[in-house]
Amino acid sequence: MDVKAIRGFNDVLPDEIGKWQYVEKAAREVFEGFGFSEIRIPILEPTELFSRGIGEATDIVEKEMYTFTDRSGNSLTLRPEATASMARAYLEHQLYTFDPVAKLYCIGPMFRYERPQKGRYRQFYQIDAEVFGVENPMVDAEVIVMLIHFLNRVGLEKLELQINSLGDRSCRPRYREELKKFLTSKSFQLCEDCQRRLQTNPLRIFDCKVETCQAAIADAPKVSDFICSECQKHFDKVKEYLEMAGLTYILNPRMVRGLDYYTRTAFEVVSYQLGSQNAVTGGGRYDNLFQEIGGLDIPGIGFAIGMERLVSLLPKEKEFVLRPDLFVAALGEGPFKEAYRIINQLRLAGVRAELDYESKSLKSQMRRADKLKARYALILGEEELKKGKAVLRNMATKFQEEIPMANLLETLKDRIQQNP
């Protein structure tokens, strides 16, 4: 076959999908338990939403967006993230008139034209949660507590929570100037991209992977030394609330995050089992985003979890493949028809039942039952059918028993309960 998927775009195949569904179900349960509601937003948005929201001088907007002009001449972009779209929806539908505080989550694909490698794709999925309308540092801690609770609930361990404060509009400009002054003295060490970033957005130099740039930034002034007393107070409260919730964190004064909308609290959850793309989650507060996209002065905070990275960290021993409860092996025409009647009845009663459409030999039908990892097999022959009986086989223990067909559903439920 010569038509293949686009580089960096992945299929999630049936043997993997159980993990995705498990994670999504847990996210819905945990987030809804914390008072969040789901929102579904379009995959395409006006390009301006992201250039204004994420920032013109970020890698995402400068070189990673899938942007095109539609047939009416509008510039549209496949969403590279969900926060700006969720903020747009909140403003557009005036959700604040109902309640200024909105707790929203969204699950879906994002698109960035990055160089694909393990853990980095051009279409990837995020689970995103946002709280709009609260400035109180308690909510910063609340979203982090929810995040860590969720990650632990799906079985992730050995994670590191890193936090930092990035200051706000009143204190960050001074830091930016200091950083620029410092890096100008080292500009000969900077790569071509960073030479440009030095003029447009010097904070982005922290994210550059080029060794000489990393060396240049090693002794750079830290944002934490420049934040104003209001930002410091806010950050101290966030830390206090995290400690009250029993969470441990690492202060990472070099974490600046790759999007320009962040103010004050920024955080990442990293796993050292992931290799170079080690961030499972990134998030933070963005108190100016709403104004940037032309809205009211509304604070916000949230995070996005990378699904592919999360799924790759799930415990290896856990079973995610959907298994049939029962495989009906029928021998002969009469039993085959009876099998069809039984599986319909069982499926309506919520039992996951399968049969072999080809009605081959018993051996090949049992091979299929094994391949599908069926818990039980029901062997139905002409003789048994006449007597109103069938043989139920526990596929794991190989124990077989003859059971009356009239009680099949009850017997099966009982056996499954005993051997889940």
Binding site residues, ligand HAM, CB under 6 A: 81, 83, 112, 114, 120-121, 124, 126, 128, 130, 258-259, 279-284, 302-304, 306, 308-309
| Residue 123 CB, nearest approach to ligand HAM (Å) | 8
Distance in Å, CB of 282 to ligand HAM, minimum: 3
332: left (phi over 0), alpha (psi -120 to 50) or beta: left
Nearer to ligand HAM, 148 or 374 (CB): 148
CB of 61 to ligand HAM, least distance (A): 12
The residues facing 300 across adjacent strands are 132
Least distance (Å) between residue 290 CB and ligand HAM: 13
The residue at minimum Cβ distance from ligand HAM is 306
With respect to ligand HAM, which residue has the nearer C-beta, 141 or 190? 141
CB of 169 to ligand HAM, least distance (A): 17
Residue with Cβ nearer ligand HAM (167 or 324): 167
Kindly state the smallest distance separating residue 165's Cβ from ligand HAM, in Å.
15
Classify 11 as helix, strand or coil: coil
**Closest among 75, 104, 78 to 90, alpha carbons compared:** 104
Nearer to ligand HAM, 162 or 365 (CB): 162
Question: Would you state the structure tokens that stand for residue 397, as one six-digit string?
Answer: 């223990």
β-strand pairing of 353-355 with 250-251? unpaired
Looking up tokens 């709009």 gives 132
CB of 64 to ligand HAM, least distance (A): 8
Q: How far is 176 from 188, CA to CA, in rounded Å? A: 19
- Closer of 301 and 395 to ligand HAM (Cβ): 301
8 A C-beta contact, residue 130 and residue 86: yes
The DSSP bridge partners found for residue 161 are 269
* Residue 155 CA: distances (Å) to CA of 14, 17, 228, 312: 21, 17, 39, 12
| Nearer CB in complex with ligand HAM: 45/338 | 45
Q: Which is nearer to ligand HAM, 20 or 327 (CB)?
A: 20
Distance from C-alpha of 253 to C-alpha of 221, rounded to nearest angstrom: 10
Of 161, 268, 176, give the one whose Cα is nearest residue 220. 176
CA 105, distance to chain mean position in Å, is: 11
